[in-house]
Structure 1
């Protein structure tokens, strides 16, 4: 398979004209030469934090606090999930997965409620689609064993020591929410030596030092943090210390669109477009242990092709800024997964 256009090549997204050669799902060459296509070729996204079970309750609970919305076991989302038939939850999740795939997401890291049954329900929802969910079971060790790892809520609610030990023994991912509403649960979360933390809106100097010293990656969800009123993560400080990836968080609160997450992040911070694109692609892939997120030989051929001659993108003078700050679903020409 040959894909032609302007290629955002390598870890620094060097803009080159040419074609990407994909054989048996693997990138085998990037041929730099003049081509007639105006397409823009970039790595497909990795959405590093989602709760897509919330697809049954989009925009529910306006005006509620973070705890009232999502705190287990009786936050609004948990009550609604308990009241909803399994078939309805599966179909709602499938629609969200289809949306993510159609807008260029290759994989997503899902904190999956509902124990073992919740894991199976998401697998059913994604069946037959090309997108690869990385499922982190919640609530029980059995859910972790059925999934790709364990996704913990904040360490103030539970020590999660037993779950962490079991996950480590199984050699699976352990991720945990930390520092979303306040800094009190960041040290307890770091004590568990997780593979990654989610949110980290309120880190103090000691937390930043520990994150850097232990090489703990962070997933930030700026749109979600703004909606729930907890503040915005200090992304620049975090990036200076460790790997930082982007996630869209609860579908209840935000669409699982990496285009929207990138634009919001780029326009609300001093980060460069290149840094934001890296957070939406290769950094999430690194956390998940995936061989994608970068266009170079030997990587999985998971690509997003944008129409550079769309009404929205034609005339752009900086292709990376245009992808991050301007592009959207209507500019997607093809998604190759």
Structure 2
């Protein structure tokens, strides 16, 4: 048992700053209060106590090819089955994959992340490799699998059904790459089977302008429209929405993930994040491909804070931005799968303590803090 004392706690779903103490016992927050003190007392002297991060979208498998292919197009880099990433994954040994993924997970742990949602290539074997890699690391991967049987113009739907059922037995959901690689029949099978199993269906949409134009030309509906129509529970990127796409999203049950650094690296645009938030949508923030970016959420927060000001001539509320990396997930049904805690009594202890450099706790974290400024990291697998 220990007490984090004299800190500024970002408490509850809305990250309300309050100067209180937190008592932790056996991985649980058992009491929060100004006078609460039990066990070992750790005086953090005005430091900020923030819920741990959730990385809302990552491809951890391509940790094996960091910074390769820089400057290539989106399709050249990541489009299955012949993108730079997919060729590298096919050539890598299991041991190489595991060690590379372990390295990226430790980087996330050391920079305040306790959960990440991974688009896992490689079918059942890919899911099993990530589970093995994460066994002894204090982090929770939410694994969304996929299978090569999903792809092509005339897939065998019987094989697709079998693959989906097998993956859902061991994974947290299904995540094909995009609508350019699957038919509507496959999309509907994925979303319906995931919903039936109470698991996540996720897909990239509107990552590039070219993808949107192709979808409109071929199907008279945008990729975002297809994602909503096919009832995917999570849509990733939203970089290039068309008319009424965002309003459609706001009325849907899909949650949204944006990945600004990856979009910038691939030169595909910047998600209209302020408009997304103004419509009442509560997006998550992700670092995307490890081959493109460090999975460090502090770097993603600072980049996002500033690129939105440059592109849209309008400041983004740093509180809303920080919620994208922490508590927004708690407003969606998929939190039943992810089980991400906020700082509150009777919840799991999942938070970090960082130095305070300014009077604004949200800007302090989004704009100032680096990994070296973390004083303590607490989660269910770490005690002090």
Pick the TM interval, shorter chain. over 0.9
> Could you tell me how far 1:36 is from its partner in structure 2?
6.4
> Could you tell me how far 1:268 is from its partner in structure 2?
1.9
Identify unmatched segments of 5+ residues in structure 2: 37-42, 148-162, 216-222, 309-314, 380-384
Identify unmatched segments of 5+ residues in structure 1: none
Task: Describe the SS at the equivalent of 2:168.
Answer: helix
Task: Describe the SS at the equivalent of 2:195.
Answer: helix
> Could you tell me how far 1:273 is from its partner in structure 2?
1.1
> Could you tell me how far 1:153 is from its partner in structure 2?
1.5
Aligned residue for 1:52? Answer: 60
1:243 has 2:282 as partner: yes
* Rg (Cα) greater in structure: 2
Would the aligned equivalents of 2:115 and 2:340 in 1 still touch at CA under 8 Å? no
Task: Describe the SS at the equivalent of 1:156.
Answer: coil
Partners of 1:238 and 1:299 lie apart in 2 by: 29
Q: Tell me the matched-pair count.
A: 331
Aligned residue for 1:16? Answer: 18
Task: Describe the SS at the equivalent of 2:375.
Answer: strand
Aligned residue for 2:252? Answer: 214
Would the aligned equivalents of 1:216 and 1:243 in 2 still touch at CA under 8 Å? no
1:331 has 2:379 as partner: no
Partners of 1:55 and 1:36 lie apart in 2 by: 35
Aligned residue for 1:32? Answer: 34
1:300-315 equivalence runs, <5 A = 300-308=348-356, 313=357
Q: Find the partner of 1:172 among 181, 187, 199.
A: 199
> Could you tell me how far 1:85 is from its partner in structure 2?
0.7
Aligned residue for 2:172? Answer: 148
Q: Give runs of ≥4 in structure 1 deviating > 3 Å.
A: 33-36, 284-288, 290-293
Partners of 1:227 and 1:203 lie apart in 2 by: 19
Would the aligned equivalents of 2:49 and 2:354 in 1 still touch at CA under 8 Å? yes
Would the aligned equivalents of 2:58 and 2:118 in 1 still touch at CA under 8 Å? yes
Partners of 2:201 and 2:108 lie apart in 1 by: 23
Would the aligned equivalents of 1:154 and 1:189 in 2 still touch at CA under 8 Å? no
Partners of 2:363 and 2:266 lie apart in 1 by: 28
Partners of 1:223 and 1:234 lie apart in 2 by: 14
Would the aligned equivalents of 2:13 and 2:328 in 1 still touch at CA under 8 Å? no
1:200 has 2:238 as partner: yes
Q: Find the partner of 2:299 among 260, 270, 280.
A: 260
Between stretches 237-246 and 47-56, larger displacement belongs to 237-246
Partners of 1:332 and 1:266 lie apart in 2 by: 20
> Could you tell me how far 1:265 is from its partner in structure 2?
0.9
* TM-score, scaled relative to structure 2: 0.82
1:155-166 equivalence runs, <5 A = 155-158=179-182, 159=184, 160-166=187-193
Partners of 2:343 and 2:9 lie apart in 1 by: 8
Partners of 2:261 and 2:331 lie apart in 1 by: 22
Partners of 2:254 and 2:123 lie apart in 1 by: 26
1:81-230 equivalence runs, <5 A = 81-139=89-147, 140-141=163-164, 142-158=166-182, 159=184, 160-182=187-209, 183=212, 184=215, 185-230=223-268
Partners of 2:354 and 2:321 lie apart in 1 by: 17
Partners of 2:25 and 2:243 lie apart in 1 by: 47
Between stretches 30-39 and 103-112, larger displacement belongs to 30-39
> Could you tell me how far 1:336 is from its partner in structure 2?
0.7
RMSD: 1.7
> Could you tell me how far 1:209 is from its partner in structure 2?
2.2
> Could you tell me how far 1:291 is from its partner in structure 2?
4.1
